[in-house]
Amino acid sequence: MASAIDTLTDRALELARLTVVRRIITALAVALSALLQTFLIQAFVEPANLLPSGFTGIAVLVNQITSLGGVHISTSVGMLLLNIPVAALCWGSISKRFVIFSMAQVALSSLLLNLLNFDPLLGDKMMLVIFGGFISGLSIAIALKAGASTGGTDFIALLVSNRTGKTIWGFIFAGNCLLLVVFGMLFGWDNAAYSIVFQFIATKSIDSFYHRYDRVTLQITTKRAEEVMDAYIERFQHGISCAEVIGGYSREKMYLLHTVISTYESADIIALVCEVDPGAVINVFRTDNFVGGWWHGHVDEPVPTAVPDPDKPARHARRTPRPNELREDDGR
């Protein structure tokens, strides 16, 4: 039974790596994310007078402010007006596929906000905050796991990360705080406080469902270092270090491989190592901080892929180090 399940799992992963299948998965996830976001705004955010984070929050705030005056800019229109310029700015710097699917999510959300009308499911405001925060995080995580996003600050964060290697989530957090201050001044501090709880639950929900950019360190003890490294670099293209060591008990020569990867890829990498060397010993350590070059993988793919880097095979073929040589590849 276990063997049959493993076989089906392997076949499913092979199928999932087909380009057309990945695009279908992404499209379906984008549609589901947009539907959930529409449901969230109409059934939770608006009835409870909450302020989401990011560009959606700005669009909601603009909608409420303009509703007080003579010119009304709806949330759906605001989402499009805010995201289109940022998407155009990011077009040449991040994955075009990521931009297209993310904008599809934004456009579909805007369309569904005008086509659908969800009534509030709950009468208690705190329940709206709690379950709304969960649905908000779920809708964002679904898009992210499929290789898309809900636009807005995701575009900006990825653009800055690709260009500088640094994160701007601190600035995004400061911007959300500023929005909450304006929201509280105009529409009451109670609503701002509820919105803080709402955003906190949404963030925790995303963290629970989406771990792609968490990192772990793999420490692999193997006697077949060359084969493991060749398969690993060809398949995943991350950097890896190799050192010759002596087993404390057996006194036999073996090799210690060391690499930092995304948790999103860990299961596939461990399976690959075990396939190449069934006798390998693998330790997995959580990596809280990492300094230096690190290849982030294909951000726009819904499943781990083995898309080759054209520079890697040539570079690897030019120089084949000796098995006992300490080496380190930065993965870039």
- Amino acid 320: pLDDT: 45
Residue boundaries of the structural domains of the chain:
16-209, 215-328
Q: For residues 195 and 249, is the Cβ–Cβ distance under 8 A?
A: no
- Amino acid 253: pLDDT: 92
Length of the chain: 332
> Which strand (E) or helix (H) includes residue 261?
strand 253-262
Of residues 98 and 35, the one with the higher pLDDT is 35
> Which strand (E) or helix (H) includes residue 257?
strand 253-262
Q: Please state the φ and ψ torsions of residue 249, each to the nearest 5 degrees.
A: -90, -50
DSSP 267: H
Question: Alpha helix (H) ranges present in 165-302?
Answer: 169-187, 189-209, 225-236, 263-276
Of residues 176 and 310, the one with the higher pLDDT is 176
Q: Taking 70 as the threshold, does the pLDDT of residue 222 lie above it? A: yes
pLDDT digits (tens, 9 = 90+) for 268-314: 789 899 999 999 999 999 887 777 665 555 555 555 444 444 344 43
Candidates 82, 116, 88, 113; CA nearest to 100 is 88
Strand order in the sheet with 215-222: 281-287, 215-222, 253-262, 241-246, 327-328
Determine the CATH number of domain 215-328. Answer: 3.30.70.120
Of residues 125 and 208, the one with the higher pLDDT is 125
- Amino acid 31: pLDDT: 97
| pLDDT classification of 332: cutoffs 50, 70, 90 | very low
Q: For residues 303 and 22, is the Cβ–Cβ distance under 8 A?
A: yes
Q: Taking 50 as the threshold, does the pLDDT of residue 85 lie above it? A: yes
- Amino acid 210: pLDDT: 78
Go through 91-111 and write b for each residue having 16 or more CB atoms within 10 A of its CB, e for each that does not: eeebbebbbbbbbbbbbbbbe
